[in-house]
Amino acid sequence: MLQETFHFHPNYIAKSMQKAFGSTPIEYLMKYRIEQAKMLLIQTSWKIATIAEEVGFGQTPYFTRQFRKFTGQSPSQFRKKFIGSK
């Protein structure tokens, strides 16, 4: 992955990303996936499971837990809240 591409030790990459972006590579990827999911929840009528798979989560329950952790609400609540505010 990153260490193979850049030939740096994984700990060095993680510390550098933490310093530059305020998050580890895994946290950064998770935030990116959640942001992509938010866009899909707003712009499509796809099922939650489809969105979870599309943004890289293998299991819908795991996606829902992570979405709630980062946003404070479930994907369904997020979608309803956004649609209701239009």
Each domain of the chain, given as residue ranges in start order, spans 2-84
**Burial 22-57, CB ≥16 within 10 A → b, else e:** eeebeeeebeebbeebbebbeeeeeebeebbeebeb
CATH superfamily of 2-84: Homeodomain-like (1.10.10.60)
**What is residue 14's predicted lDDT score, i.e. its pLDDT?**
83
17-74 confidence digits (pLDDT tens): 889 988 888 899 999 999 999 999 999 999 999 999 999 999 999 999 999 999 999 9
Residue 41 Cα distances to 6, 7, 86, angstroms: 34, 37, 14
Specify the higher pLDDT residue, 6 or 45: 45
